[in-house]
Amino acid sequence: MTGSSDNVTTRRYAAPGRVNLIGEHTDYNDGFVLPTNTGLYTRVTAAARDDRRISAEATVFGETAAFELDDAATMQSSGWIAYVQGVAAMLMQDGARLCGATLRIEGELPLGGGLSSSASLELAVAAALLGIAGEERPAPRIAALCRDAERRYAGVNCGIMDQYSIACGKMGAAMLLDCRSMATTFVAIPDSVALLVIDSGVKHQLPDSGYNDRASECESALRTLNEAGIAADSLRDVSPSEADACRDQLGDVLHRRVRHVITENQRVLDAVDALQRNDPLRLGELVNSSHRSLRDDYEVSCREVDELVTIANSCEGVFGSRMVGAGFGGCVLVVTDPDRLDEVESGIASRYGEFRGERPWTHRVTATHAAGEITDR
């Protein structure tokens, strides 16, 4: 929608959050993921300026920050503005002729909650900066540029899943993404399944958390496997028996990291099969085993998230639950019977509320489309 006040034309853009059904910490290992988008948004109102300055207000922080477009590639910054600056820098590096802009950024997603508020922010800002400059890029290209922005400017060695899902997702479907070939297959989420997200209330700080440690552990495990004679370009190419044969060289910790990646990739493919066969019980089993693998082998869960998963799984009607996102806190995804959604949601919220001393934020995953300009449709 375009609006106008004081002779300044404003345009509005929005990008949803995403929930990954299964396939955690597999994207940066060239593996498989199965995200879907949900109707919580980062919204950006944008007005073009005559100069080359980007001035951005982040209402969730009550802060305004600014930079010159011509300094975007080189300026040192941190915090939320680094994402905005990074997106501007990457778009310009790709040849986009951006113009100065005043941006107002409003967010509905929990920050650091595993629903990818960061990629949602990046995609909303990218849509706004491109839109007001009259520039266009294919959605997969914008996703890759936003991923690079997060890696280079916010210091998070993330994979492509979040940006790709938010840029290219389809309403009401999960997207099986092969993070090596970038081939996508959309899988309808059957009516027999409802998805609920519950925030543990524990916040992660990605650049400071173990996220980058895990990415480098995977690189180091791959080097060790290569040195042991296993021809693999990424952990995705390693078979369970090869990983077991190299257990001594890898050591216990790296062996478990590799085991998570290998078994999680298989679980994604099995989950697609379960969705296609409309088998929510099987989907729930896979989600539960994903959580155990993330907790025990990848060691990215935490006490509160484990408690939340235990509470969820003890509720009648729940098929399975697991941590979502990078880990070390954040949200839990609950796969449940839609007919019992009300009681499941309130049951988990009240029992976890007793445990934490505060009722948690909950969200029912709703069908939504990919990032873009808001038009009155």
**Footprint on this chain of ligand ADP (rule: CB under 6 A):** 42, 58, 60-61, 79-80, 83, 105, 107, 111-118, 121, 206, 325
Output 65 or 367, the one with its CB closest to ligand ADP: 65
CB 42 within 8 A of CB 117: yes
- Which of residues 37, 118, 290, 293 is near Mg ion by CB under 5 A? 118
* Inter-helix orientation angle 117-133/139-153, to 10°: 120
The residue at minimum Cβ distance from Mg ion is 118
What are the beta bridge partners of residue 44? 13, 105
Give dist(CA 321, CA 327) in Å, integer: 14
Q: How far is the CB of 255 from ligand ADP (least distance, A)?
A: 28
Interacting partner of 83 out of Mg ion, ligand ADP, none (Cβ under 5 to 8 A depending on kind): ligand ADP
Give dist(CA 282, CA 297) in Å, integer: 22
Output 154 or 311, the one with its CB closest to Mg ion: 154
Output 79 or 240, the one with its CB closest to ligand ADP: 79
Give dist(CA 347, CA 120) in Å, integer: 30
Q: How many CB atoms lie within 10 A of CB 354?
A: 11
Q: How far is the CB of 124 from ligand ADP (least distance, A)?
A: 8
Output 105 or 274, the one with its CB closest to ligand ADP: 105
Interacting partner of 235 out of ligand ADP, Mg ion, none (Cβ under 5 to 8 A depending on kind): none
CB 196 within 8 A of CB 341: yes
Q: How far is the CB of 199 from ligand ADP (least distance, A)?
A: 11
Total of residues contacting Mg ion (CB under 5 A): 2
Output 31 or 110, the one with its CB closest to Mg ion: 110
Q: How far is the CB of 317 from ligand ADP (least distance, A)?
A: 27
- Which parts of 288-307 interact with Mg ion (CB under 5 A)? none
Q: How far is the CB of 44 from ligand ADP (least distance, A)?
A: 9
Interacting partner of 121 out of ligand ADP, Mg ion, none (Cβ under 5 to 8 A depending on kind): ligand ADP
Q: How far is the CB of 342 from ligand ADP (least distance, A)?
A: 27
Residues labelled as active-site residues: 162
Interacting partner of 325 out of Mg ion, ligand ADP, none (Cβ under 5 to 8 A depending on kind): ligand ADP
Residue type, 113: G
Residue type, 272: V
Interacting partner of 320 out of Mg ion, ligand ADP, none (Cβ under 5 to 8 A depending on kind): none
Q: How many angstroms separate the Cα of 346 from the Cα of each of 182, 277, 311, 340, 341?
A: 39, 29, 12, 10, 9
Interacting partner of 100 out of ligand ADP, Mg ion, none (Cβ under 5 to 8 A depending on kind): none
Output 11 or 43, the one with its CB closest to ligand ADP: 43
> Which phi-psi region, left, alpha or beta, contains residue 38 (left: φ > 0; alpha: ψ -120 to 50)?
beta
CB 11 within 8 A of CB 128: yes
Q: How many angstroms separate the Cα of 2 from the Cα of each of 41, 111, 143, 348?
A: 18, 28, 24, 42
Based on the shown chain and the rule CB under 5 A, indicate whether residue 120 belongs to the binding site for Mg ion: no
Q: How many angstroms separate the Cα of 377 from the Cα of each of 26, 38, 128, 152?
A: 36, 18, 18, 36
**The residue to which tokens 């990008």 are assigned:** 15
Contact residues toward Mg ion (CB under 5 A) are 116, 118
